[in-house]
Chains A and B, each alone.
Chain A
Amino acid sequence: MIGPAVLYVVLVVGFPFVLALYYSLSDITVGSRSLSFVGLKNFTAVVGTSKFQTALKNTFVFAFVSQALVIVLANVLALALLKDFRGKWLVRLLILLPWVAPISLGTIGWLWMLDSIYSVINWTLEALGLITADNWPMWLGIPHLAMGSVIGVHVWRLLPLATVILLAGLSSIPKEIHDAAAVDGAGFWRHHFQITIPLIRPIILVALLFGVVFAFTDMIVIFVLTRGGPYDTTQVLASLAFFTGIQGGDLAEGAAIALFLFPLLLAAAIVFLRIARRSEVT
C-alpha cells in the first residue's frame, strides 16, 4: 500500500536529483539537444567567481542571523502566549498570518512598505522625529540596508512557525515541575534558563532545524524584494541558481550552484534523525 507513494516521490524527487547531479557534470544549456560530460568543470568555474562567493556568504548570513533572531524572539513570544488572556485566539491568528499567507504575496506588502518614496515606515519614523525628510533611508537600495530588510522579512515570515512549535513544547511541561521550582524558590530568570529551556531543548532544535532549512533554501524573498541587488549584494545560492540556470539558460552551471545547498540539507537530515531516535528511546 505504501508502494505508490514511494514510487511517486522517487520519480519526482529522486530522479530529478540524480539528473541535477548529472547536469552539473555536463555542459547542458536550455537550447542544446545533446550534452557532453565535462567533469567538475562547472563547479571549479563557479566557485572562483565573486558572484558565487558573495551568494554563498549571504546564504549563511541570511539563514543564521535570521534564525538567531527568530529563536530569541520566539522564546519571548511563546512565553507571552502561554498565559491565557482575552482575545488570545485573535492574537494567535494575526501572529500566524505571515507564515500561512503565500510568502511571495506577503513580501510584496513589505516591498510597498519599504518603497523608496512612499514608505510608510519612513513616514512614521519622520513623524516620530527619528529621521528627517531629506535623508529617508533607501531600504532596498543600499547594500547593508537591503540585507537588513531581507533578514527582517525572513524573521517576520518564520517567527510564527518557531513560536507555535515552542508553544507546543512549553505547554507539554507538566505543571508539577513548575510548582516544584516555585516551591524551591527559583526566580523568573533562573526558572526559565535552568528548568524550562533545558526541558524544551529538543523542541527548540526542531524549530531551529526547520527555520534554517526554509531560510537557507529560499529564493522568494530575495526575488520579490531585491532580485539580488543592489549589485548582487543580496544574492543567495538559490536565487543565483535561478538567474543562471533558468533566466540565463545555463542549466549545467545553475544545477551546480543549486547542489551546494545539498550538504546543509544532509546535515539537517542527520540532526533530525538523531532527535527522532532519541525521542524513541525515552
Chain B
Amino acid sequence: MARPGTLRRVSVRGAHVGVVAAFTLFSAFPFYWMLVTTFKRTGDLLKRGNNPYLYNDPPTLEHLRVLFVDTLYGRWLLNSAFVGTAVVGITLLLAIPAGYALARLAGRWGEQLGIGIFLTYLVPPTLLFIPLSRVIAHLGLQDSLWALVLVYPSFTIPFCTWLLMGFFKAIPPDLEEAAMIDGCSRLGAFVKVVIPISIAGVLTVVIFSFTLVMQEFVYAMTFISTVSQYTVSVGVPTFLVHGDVYFWGSLMAGCFIASVPIAILYNFFVDRFIAGFTVGAIK
C-alpha cells in the first residue's frame, strides 16, 4: 500500500498534468482543427452523420489548390510581406535613434518622454480609423498598400522605441566613450559598438513589428477595398466568407498557413516582449 505522502504527491502531479493538458487543449484546438479541416473533402465536412474527428473519405489537397490557384491568397501573402518589410524598415530607421536618445537622456525627462511615447501604443485603431480614412483619401492612397505602410508605423514605433530603450540602457556608456577616445565620432561609435551588441534587440523589434503588421485588421479593412490589394488578415475573412457560402476547407487552410509559422518564430522572442510589457513592474 502506498504511503499517504506518496499518494498525495501522485495526486498533485496528476492535477498538474490535468491543468496543463486542459489549457493546452483550449488554446491549441482551433489550430488543430484548422489543420484537420484543410485536408478534408467538402463532402466529408458537410455530412452531418460523419464523425468530424476522422477522415471518413480519403484526405485531399484540393482546398490548398483552390486557395492558391483560384483565389488571390498568394497575392495577399505577398502583400502582407511587402507591407511588413516596408514597415519594419521605417520602424528601425526611426525607433533605433529614438530609443538610443531616450536611453542616454539624463534624468527624469528621458523617462517621462519614453513613457509618453509608449502610451501612444495604447491608442487603438478603432479610435482613429475614421479620420485616417479621410486623410488617406486626401493623399490619394485609397486602395494602395502604401496607405498601410504609412499608417502602421504609428503603432510599431512606440512599442519598438520602448523596447530598444531598454536594450540600449543595459549597455554601459563607457563602451561608446572608449570608442570615441579612439577616434570614432558619436555616430561611428553607435554604429560600430552599440548596434552589434544589441543585435538581439534589433531582431526582436523586426519580428515584433512584422507580427503586428500580419495581425492588423481594422486599418486594412477601412482603407482597402480592391481584392487584389488585401492583406492576408483581411482577405481571408472578408473574401473567402462571401454571403452564406463558406469554403471551409480553403478558409481553414488559409488561416493555418498565415498564423502558425509566424507564431513559431515569435515564440523565440516572447520573453523580450514581456520584459517590454511589464515596464518597471518587475525589479
Contacts and interface: CB of A to CB of B under 8 A. Distances in A.
Interface of A: 1-2, 4-6, 8-9, 12-13, 15-17, 19-20, 22-23, 28, 73, 76-77, 80-81, 83, 85, 91-98, 100-113, 117-118, 120, 123, 156, 159-161, 164-165, 168-169, 172, 202-203, 205-206, 210, 213, 217-220, 223-224, 237-238, 241-242, 245-246, 251, 254-255, 258-259, 261-262, 265, 268-269, 272-273, 275-276, 279-280, 282
A112 B248 CA distance: 7
B120 A95 contact: no
Contacts of B234: 104
B92 to A, nearest CB: 11
B222 to A, nearest CB: 6
B277 A16 contact: no
Contacts of B105: 2
Interface stretch (B58-66, B109-117, B176-184, B193-201): B109-117
A94 B28 contact: yes
A118 B40 CA distance: 13
B28 A97 contact: yes
B19 A96 contact: no
21 contacts: A2-B101, A5-B157, A8-B153, A16-B131, A23-B131, A95-B24, A97-B28, A101-B215, A101-B258, A102-B214, A102-B217, A103-B217, A104-B233, A104-B234, A108-B241, A112-B33, A164-B270, A258-B127, A261-B126, A265-B124, A269-B122
B277 A206 contact: yes
Contacts of B23: 73, 77, 80, 95, 159
Contacts, number: 282
Interface residues of B, number: 93
DSSP class of B's interface residues: helix, strand, loop or mixed? helix
Given A9-B157, A102-B214, A102-B215, A219 B126 contact: yes
A255 B280 contact: no
A255 B129 CA distance: 9
A255 B130 contact: yes
B237 A97 contact: no
Nearest to A160: B27
